[in-house]
Structure 1
Amino acid sequence: MTPLLASDPQPSLMLDACAAVLEVNPALQAMLGPWPQRTVDYWLPSNYQALVNACLRQVRAICDVEALVAERILLWTFIPVSTDRVLLRCRDATAERQAEREASQARRLYRLITENTTDLISRHSPDGCFLDASPASFRLLGYWPEQLRGVAVQSLFHPQDRQQSLQQAAQALEQDGYQTMTCRVRHHDGRYLWFEIASRAIRETYTGVVVEIVSVSRDITARVEAQENRRRLAEVVEANTDLVLFTDRDGHLSYLNRSARKALALQDVEQLPGLQALLDPALLQRLDREGWQCAERTGVWQAETRLIPWQGSTAFPVSLVLLAHRGSGAERYYSLVARDMTERELREGQQRRHQDELAHSARLITLGELASGIAHEINQPLAAVVNYAGASQRYLQALDRDPQAAARVAQGLQRISEQATHAAAVIKRLRAFLRKEPRRLQALAIADVALEAVRLCDWEAARDHVQIALQIADPLPTVYADRVLLEQVLLNLLRNAIDANREQHRGQPSRIVLSAEWFAGQVQIQVSDQGPGVAPERLDGIFTPFNTSKPEGLGLGLSMSRSIIEGFGGTLQAMPGAQGGLILCCRLAPVASAATEEK
């Protein structure tokens, strides 16, 4: 064996000009195992023959030619040692090449991440100037990386953040080598955005001096604005005069604003009570029956109820709204917003009292206008009483002469009693119509109320040759109203119709129809006249207060009638008649529906 080959510690072999193996040194045999169990083609590069020829022809070494052998990477160096011999030296570079490839792959991955990340990655000199930046700089700040190089980072900071932020950052980087700050950074278009900037110091290995700063900047403008909006919303909720309560489905309260704590007497209570202790029992049943489900389905549920302050204070009326919310994790949570209706109840009570006073005054005026008819209706039975009394006196004087006188006196007394009872009934109706009492809602039969209203205006209708026809369907459900006020409404509608007929027919016979029927789930009462009617564009205006076409009218009858009917939960509208004239249509809910609404 050639001394050169034998003394070479590196695996090597000798080839001739034809690329045939002449000698193999011990180091190569030890590395490759028993030799030559495989042909030389297995261990050498696939083009080793051409490389041998090139090496001899050019008289130069060819270095680090790679050969992949059973997942091992061998690097061969071809060295010409004579005109017809080539020395091949081998080096196992498997670990080296794999490390290089992994490092190259890591560099490619890092470059891919850097170039595509949504955060801005930047390098800075110790004095804060940009050395480089990732392409995200254009999307976030409107600057390309080339435009930022050499720019002082402090020049982009908001003036209010500049001095304090830079001093804190410099101290933290010098002491800890890491610092995170939140500040405003100027965009290329002049607006300022909120950024969260995490910076790390790169130090010189031996001296520890900061030679470079690497920063990762993230746009948190949306987050900061959301936090600010939440803060403002929290301030609004806390300062709101409405009661705001946060709860879960089981009634566990987690938050009450200031108004809620004050109204519910919970200012000094650390452990909040359950929602059940603050709600009316009837509302709790409605919540379980429909409230929670409705809020989850539509997002909101409303109710009129009363809240009970803690430890037995007086309950107060509220308008309650239950709102259902969904968190980011799809969990449900709820808020209750309650508006104190105590003042509204007082105003409504006062308004009802004023309305009742006005209605009573209107009844007095109406009876004054019907005075002649009322006097006629009372005078008739009184005149009959006088006549029957005189006749009875004459028969008493003739008892001894006329055997039938006693029977005729008895008959006269009976008729006197009947006429006196009739007069008393008229007076009773008038007293009931004029009574001044708080309104009393009760179940009423429309037929009875309509008949009483017709009786009150019957003489006026007869005087003007107006016939009032009653068309009451049977049976009809009862309605929920005050008897006197409903009677007053019907009387207003009838007298309005009588005036319209008198204006149109001027003493000629005419007709009014007072009808009642079941229509669309309500009791519908209509008064139809044969008057001149009202233009369609003026129909709704006839219910405006002080709007009247009568020279001596106040224009309050129809306006007050609509207010009374709406107070019963109904409606009063006007519409043109099919054959001319005007139809005043009143609709009231039956007792069952009205009771449900009251609850």
Structure 2
Amino acid sequence: MAKSAKQSGAGRAAVGQELQELVRLAGEGVGRHELADALLRLTRSRPEVIQAYYLVWQAAAGTYAELGSVERLPPGQGDPLTASDAELHAQLTARGELGLAELRRLPCWLAGRLRRAGIRQGVALALELTPGEPGLLLLELEEPGSGLAGWLAQLLGAVLLLARQQLRPSPLLDADGEPSLLLDGDGRLLDRNRAALQLQQDCGVAGAGALLPVNHTPLLHACLQQRRAIGPVSVEVAGRILLWQFVPEPASGRVLARGRDASEQIRSEREAARASRLYRLITENTTDLISRHTPGGRFLDASPASWTLLGYWPEQLRGSDLKPLLHPDDLPLMREAREVLEQHGYHTLSYRLRHRDGSYRWFETASRAIRETYTGAVVEIVSVSRDITARVQGEEVRRRLAEVIEATTDLVLFIDRSGAITYLNQSARRTLGLDEGQDAPPLAALLDAGDLHRLLDSGLPCAERSGVWESDMRLHPPGGADSLPVSLVLLAHASAGEAGYFSLVARDMTERELRETQMRHHQDELAHTARLVTLGELASGIAHEINQPLAAVVNYASASQRYLQQVADDPQAASRVAQGLERITAHANHAAEVIRRLRAFLRKEPRRLQALDAAALAREAVRLCAWEAGNSRVAIVEVLPDNLPPVYVDRVLLEQVLLNLLRNAIDANREAHPHAASTIRLQAALEADGQQLSISVEDQGPGVSEEALAHIFTPFYTSKADGLGLGLSMSRSIVEGFGGELLARRQPGGLCLVCRLPVAARGEAAEPLQQQQ
């Protein structure tokens, strides 16, 4: 018994020494590991304690970690990256004490570590070794039912409270309304006031150190070394912006960190700075001129756009007067603007300012008056000016175009996609007999049904694709007035809306139609005169063709008379008389055919286009010049198929063109081969496109030079000594009147003239030549 009492007394003495050591270390503000070792020595001095561990809560990792030099527990099972002691931390925060048997059953990382270490009985106590830093004291006990846990919790709580009370620098710490923390030189928390504790709870952080800037330890060192306060230093925690001031106590080596919640202030300052930067960015980069003026018009400031718009930098405008830049005609506008700003405070006007290069530009300026708060007097004018020179010039161009449209003699109509007329100019109203303000008639009342169908179904899509469509039509004014021919141009226009519009520009072609009629009449007269000249040139051949059958008729008539006298004596005389009469009839018909062809060739009547057989017409032209060709030893080779489609021409005029081409070829052959035989090739063929038929005349003459070929169709240009130079020019005009063309090509052995004519519509048969004549 004596020995046991002696041992118990020795144990109490050891406990007392360890307790004093713990209090001393806590008072000196040593590091966490050294303080944890003192705590563990204190707890292990009890015989009931097998082993003791102190673990601090790591909020970032969500686990507990050992402090001090004690042997570490083995790691738990599973992935350390997914480890969590959150359930254990919640239980200890709520209860303060937890048995190891119950702890081992919790789903936490420390429970697995205890199982692997083989620790089965004991207790875990919630204990803050350092203020604001949660932790737990883990004791492995011989007997789980001993009263050590309650005793030790009370003892350690009292010891740490005593240590903190000894370290309080001032009773004013708790009286401070702002969050304050007492720190040692290494940044360890020694104490905090109620405001700091409340801030820590509001921010939801585990330790008070999380409220400080991440670089607070270097700041504390600098604060103590320099013996001066440092701050404010900002840190953002849980959406709040805190400002900390660090005040040193060089004698004790401690620092008071005093903070305040400046979230609203700093956010307001940031918004103001952002708005200021945005305003400066807009001001410096906008193409509009932003300027400030005195009520008298003197520049106070201007944005950099002044260089682009006026040729002056803002520094050059500050202090200068606006009046010298104004156009003289716009000075009254500025006086009026000053009065309006005085009365209403806002005004917009358009005027001209002189650029530095001397030119004037149009500006649109919106101005607002800035008034003195108490008197209401205008102290400053803020203006935003925009260069509208292009817009004013565009409006002027549009105004002039509108005047041109109203003054033009052409008819201008605007229509929509459905064909409804939305606008008519004055010329259109006069031509259609419409009064000012009278509604436009429907387009269907102005055009034939076929023309309207062609305009809407073909013209509108074509104008939308290519921008323009042209056609010739007849316009029928309402009220029964005579229709007039017009040359119509349809234009497609884009509009600001979804649907565009179309304009119809119609030119009255009545005078042109009259001139064309007169021109055709003169051309027909000239063509008839040319045919008379041609007939005179062919007189010898014509006389030969007529004299030959007439001489035969006379001979057969004389023979028949002799046979009639011998009828009584010669039984065969009657048959010979009959035979003579048949031959007289044949030769008389031949002479009549020659005269018919001449009359048809010389016929003078209005031009009449019809579907004709081009090959038959070509053969008729060959017959007219056959005697001349034979007399010049020129053979005409005909390549004229009988299955060619008909062409839409006038018979007499085309025959005149072909006769002119053949006679020119005969003259060329006679010039190149005066004493030798030569040939002319007359050929007709359908073009590859199937829309035109070509008739070519190839000679074996001397040909023409490139320079002469360029002028071969020029009026009065000829290479013949006695020629007028009108034949080919007139022939080309006639062919172009049919819608065709007349071309000339050089060849190695002469010249080739090609006449291309439009083919008649499909299904239209050619009229018989005899019926045509």
Q: How far, CA to CA, are the matches of 1:429 and 1:308 in structure 2?
A: 44
Q: How does 1:390-409 map to 2 (within 5 A)?
A: 390-409=558-577
Q: Secondary structure at the match of 1:542?
A: coil
The change in CA–CA distance for 1:133 and 1:409 in structure 2 (over 3 A counts) is same
Match of 1:504 among 672, 677, 688: 672
Larger Rg belongs to? 2
Q: Which moved more, 1:416-425 or 1:324-333?
A: 324-333
* TM-score normalised according to structure 1 size: 0.88
Structure 1 counterpart of 2:758: 589
- Give the deviation of 1:136 after TM superposition: 1.6
- Give the deviation of 1:171 after TM superposition: 0.6
- Give the deviation of 1:439 after TM superposition: 1.0
Conserved 8 A contact 1:17-1:53: no
- Give the deviation of 1:356 after TM superposition: 0.5
- Give the deviation of 1:288 after TM superposition: 4.3
The change in CA–CA distance for 1:113 and 1:386 in structure 2 (over 3 A counts) is same
The change in CA–CA distance for 1:593 and 1:359 in structure 2 (over 3 A counts) is farther
Q: How does 1:389-468 map to 2 (within 5 A)?
A: 389-468=557-636
Q: Which moved more, 1:150-159 or 1:45-54?
A: 45-54
- Give the deviation of 1:387 after TM superposition: 2.2
Q: How far, CA to CA, are the matches of 1:594 and 1:269 in structure 2?
A: 50
Q: What do residues 223-247 of structure 1 show as CA deviations (whole Å, max 9, x unaligned)?
A: 1122122112222222222222221
The change in CA–CA distance for 1:396 and 1:112 in structure 2 (over 3 A counts) is same
Q: What do residues 352-408 of structure 1 show as CA deviations (whole Å, max 9, x unaligned)?
A: 100100111111111122222212211222222222222222333333222223322
Q: Secondary structure at the match of 2:712?
A: helix
Q: How far, CA to CA, are the matches of 1:50 and 1:386 in structure 2?
A: 149
Match of 2:312 among 139, 143, 156: 143
Match of 2:376 among 203, 208, 217: 208
Q: Does 1:569 align with 2:739?
A: yes
Q: Secondary structure at the match of 2:440?
A: coil
Q: How far, CA to CA, are the matches of 1:559 and 1:421 in structure 2?
A: 37
Q: How far, CA to CA, are the matches of 2:555 and 2:565 in structure 1?
A: 16
Q: How far, CA to CA, are the matches of 1:252 and 1:480 in structure 2?
A: 38
Query: Unaligned 5+ residue runs, structure 1?
Result: none
The change in CA–CA distance for 1:126 and 1:513 in structure 2 (over 3 A counts) is same
Q: What do residues 50-105 of structure 1 show as CA deviations (whole Å, max 9, x unaligned)?
A: 98999999998878665655434455677899987999876544333332222222
Q: How far, CA to CA, are the matches of 1:577 and 1:2 in structure 2?
A: 125
- Give the deviation of 1:7 after TM superposition: 11
The change in CA–CA distance for 1:531 and 1:9 in structure 2 (over 3 A counts) is closer
Conserved 8 A contact 2:189-2:209: no
Q: How far, CA to CA, are the matches of 1:450 and 1:189 in structure 2?
A: 76
Conserved 8 A contact 2:174-2:193: no
Match of 1:103 among 248, 272, 285: 272
- Counterpart amino acid of 1:477? P
The change in CA–CA distance for 1:389 and 1:225 in structure 2 (over 3 A counts) is same
Q: Secondary structure at the match of 1:569?
A: coil
Q: Does 1:526 align with 2:526?
A: no
Q: Does 1:341 align with 2:524?
A: no
Conserved 8 A contact 2:491-2:504: yes
Conserved 8 A contact 1:10-1:91: no
The change in CA–CA distance for 1:419 and 1:63 in structure 2 (over 3 A counts) is closer
Conserved 8 A contact 2:242-2:260: yes
Match of 2:393 among 194, 219, 225: 225
Q: How far, CA to CA, are the matches of 1:426 and 1:434 in structure 2?
A: 12
Q: Secondary structure at the match of 1:544?
A: coil
Q: Secondary structure at the match of 1:285?
A: helix
Q: Does 1:154 align with 2:352?
A: no
Q: Secondary structure at the match of 2:501?
A: strand
Q: Secondary structure at the match of 1:415?
A: helix
Conserved 8 A contact 2:406-2:426: yes
Let me know the Cα RMSD of the aligned residues. Answer: 3.4
Higher relative contact order (CA 8 A, sep 6+): 1
Q: How far, CA to CA, are the matches of 2:193 and 2:612 in structure 1?
A: 125
The change in CA–CA distance for 1:62 and 1:10 in structure 2 (over 3 A counts) is farther
Q: Secondary structure at the match of 1:552?
A: coil
The change in CA–CA distance for 1:33 and 1:415 in structure 2 (over 3 A counts) is closer
- Give the deviation of 1:592 after TM superposition: 2.6
Query: Unaligned 5+ residue runs, structure 2?
Result: 1-167, 765-773
- Counterpart amino acid of 1:543? F
Q: How far, CA to CA, are the matches of 1:139 and 1:15 in structure 2?
A: 61
Conserved 8 A contact 1:388-1:413: yes
Structure 1 counterpart of 2:719: 549
- Give the deviation of 1:198 after TM superposition: 0.9
- Give the deviation of 1:175 after TM superposition: 0.5
The change in CA–CA distance for 1:594 and 1:286 in structure 2 (over 3 A counts) is farther
Structure 1 counterpart of 2:349: 181
Q: How far, CA to CA, are the matches of 1:325 and 1:309 in structure 2?
A: 26
- Give the deviation of 1:332 after TM superposition: 2.9
Structure 1 counterpart of 2:80: none
Q: How does 1:297-446 map to 2 (within 5 A)?
A: 297-328=465-496, 331-446=499-614
- Counterpart amino acid of 1:405? A
- Give the deviation of 1:49 after TM superposition: 8.8
- Give the deviation of 1:207 after TM superposition: 0.4
Q: Does 1:124 align with 2:293?
A: yes
Conserved 8 A contact 1:17-1:56: no
Conserved 8 A contact 2:183-2:257: no
Structure 2 counterpart of 1:536: 706
